[in-house]
């Protein structure tokens, strides 16, 4: 019995050394071997699965990288084509738009229209001396960007430096309708220039001098009857007419002579001086413009000085700013225009 037990122990020890595992009661060596092989098989399958997933992820990354590269390449190609198109357009451009891309300034009183195309719809307005950025050219038009809007502006009123203004004939819309500048009202108004030595030429010079000299609220020497400039339009306008020798001086404030403090009386004085009412447009530089404001008939007056494109610029009194300023003739209802014929 002892010999059989010893033999069994030796056999089990031999098997343990042969298979590298400790014997387990209830399991034969062949069971242990099968479990080991299953574990190894499972490990191999897991390694293969992980490897396959890594390969898939790597392939996906490569595809994404290639797509991104293709997308970038297409974007760069489009940008290059757009730049070439703009360069070609600039080379072929033979219109008034000759300034390079970059900062520029509007010279149009009171403002310049921004359109959605050449003679297109109005989408914004840039005030006089407002800064814009030129982004392209199309004949007589610039494409611009600004804080006032983005679109097309006529090149006649865009300059490389501030405080410049166009003094030629207003641009003509080939489709009819409005011109390039605007205070918000569309009308085909044009100013005809006059000889500087003519009566109306002298009126223009005097009006501009008064405008430039008395800038700033309170600078103009208003008569007390004007209520501090609230009703100072006739005094401002007739001061220019007196300085130009058109009307006789009938009073003076602060060394500046005037002929009248009332619009209706100014009409009578001009008629006595040989001026006549005329139909407009076109306006002529030096015309005296009467508007209807707070009451029927002439109740506001100014001097036509120059063309602002589609809007005739008139030097007149600002009851709110309390000083001479320029505004468009069609900013109010015009009831009479007088001219020395």
8 pLDDT higher than 80: no
> Is 73 in contact with 80 (CB distance < 8 Å)?
no
Number of domains in the chain: 2
The C-alpha atoms of residue 255 and residue 267 are separated, in whole angstroms, by 24
Asked if 297 and 274 count as a contact pair (C-beta separation under 8 A), the reply is no
What value does the mean pLDDT of the chain take? 79
Q: What is the pLDDT of residue 134?
A: 96
Residue 144 near residue 114 (C-beta atoms within 8 A)? yes
Do residue 179 and residue 207 come from a single domain?
Answer: no
Q: In which domain, by residue range, is 144 found?
A: 91-186
**Top-confidence residue, 108 or 261:** 261
CATH number, domain of 166, equals: 2.30.30.40
d(CA 331, CA 260): 24
Q: Are 151 and 235 in a shared domain? A: no
pLDDT of 30 over the 50 cut: no
* 3 belongs to a structural domain: no
What would the pLDDT profile of 274-315 be if each residue is shown by its tens digit?
A: 999 988 777 888 999 999 988 889 999 999 997 665 578 899
Is there a domain that residue 283 lies in?
yes
Beta carbons within 8 Å of 266's beta carbon, 6+ residues apart = 234, 237, 238, 259, 260, 288, 290, 298, 301
Tokens of 16: 């343990």
Residue that terminates a domain, selected from 140, 170, 186? 186
The answer on 198 and 177 residing in a single domain is: no
Q: Are residues 233 and 217 in the same domain?
A: yes
CA 51 to chain centre: 59
Residue 169, pLDDT > 50, answer yes
Q: Are residues 201 and 233 in the same domain?
A: yes
Quick one: what percent of the chain has pLDDT higher than 90? 40
| Structural contact between residues 111 and 157, judged by C-beta atoms closer than 8 angstroms | no
Of 332 and 26, the one with more pLDDT: 332
Residues 176 and 236 in one domain: no
Q: What is the pLDDT of residues 55-68, one digit of tens each?
A: 666 666 566 666 66
Whether residues 245 and 291 share a domain: the answer is yes
Largest Cα–Cα distance in the chain? 160
Bond from prior residue into 110 cis (ω within 30 degrees of 0): yes
Task: Give the strand pairing for 102-106 and 288-292.
Answer: unpaired
DSSP state at residue 254: T
- Looking at the structure, tell me whether residues 168 and 196 fall in a common domain: no
Q: Are residues 285 and 223 in the same domain?
A: yes
């Amino acid at each position: 019995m002892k010999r059989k037990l010893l033999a069994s122990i030796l056999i089990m020890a031999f098997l343990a050394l042969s298979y590298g595992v400790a014997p387990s009661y209830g399991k034969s060596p062949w069971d242990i071997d099968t479990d080991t092989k299953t574990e190894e098989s499972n490990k191999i399958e897991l390694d293969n699965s992980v490897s396959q997933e890594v390969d898939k992820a790597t392939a996906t990354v490569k595809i994404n990288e290639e797509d991104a590269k293709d997308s970038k390449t297409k974007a760069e190609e489009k940008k290059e084509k757009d730049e070439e198109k703009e360069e070609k357009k600039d080379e072929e451009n033979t219109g008034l738009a000759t300034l390079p891309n970059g900062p520029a300034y509007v010279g149009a009183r009171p403002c310049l229209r921004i359109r959605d195309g050449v003679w297109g719809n109005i989408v914004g307005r840039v005030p006089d001396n407002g800064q814009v950025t030129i982004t392209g050219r199309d004949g007589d038009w610039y494409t611009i960007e600004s804080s006032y809007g983005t679109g097309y502006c006529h090149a006649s009123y865009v300059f490389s430096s501030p405080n410049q203004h166009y003094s030629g004939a207003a641009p003509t819309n080939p489709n009819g309708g409005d011109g390039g500048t605007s205070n918000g009202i569309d009308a085909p108004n044009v100013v005809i220039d006059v000889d500087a030595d003519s009566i109306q030429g002298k009126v223009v010079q005097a009006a501009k001098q008064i405008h430039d000299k008395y800038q700033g609220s309170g600078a103009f020497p208003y008569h007390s009857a004007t209520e501090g400039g609230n009703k100072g339009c006739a005094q401002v306008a007739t001061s220019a007419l007196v300085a130009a020798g058109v009307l006789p001086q009938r009073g003076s404030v602060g060394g500046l002579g005037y002929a009248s403090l009332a619009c209706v009386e100014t009409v009578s004085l001009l008629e006595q001086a040989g001026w006549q009412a005329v139909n407009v447009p076109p306006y002529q530089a030096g015309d005296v413009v009467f508007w209807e404001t707070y009451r029927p008939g002439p109740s506001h007056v100014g001097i036509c000085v120059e063309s602002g494109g589609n809007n005739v610029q008139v030097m007149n009194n600002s009851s709110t700013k309390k000083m001479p300023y320029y505004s468009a003739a069609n900013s109010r209802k015009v009831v009479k225009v007088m001219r020395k014929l």
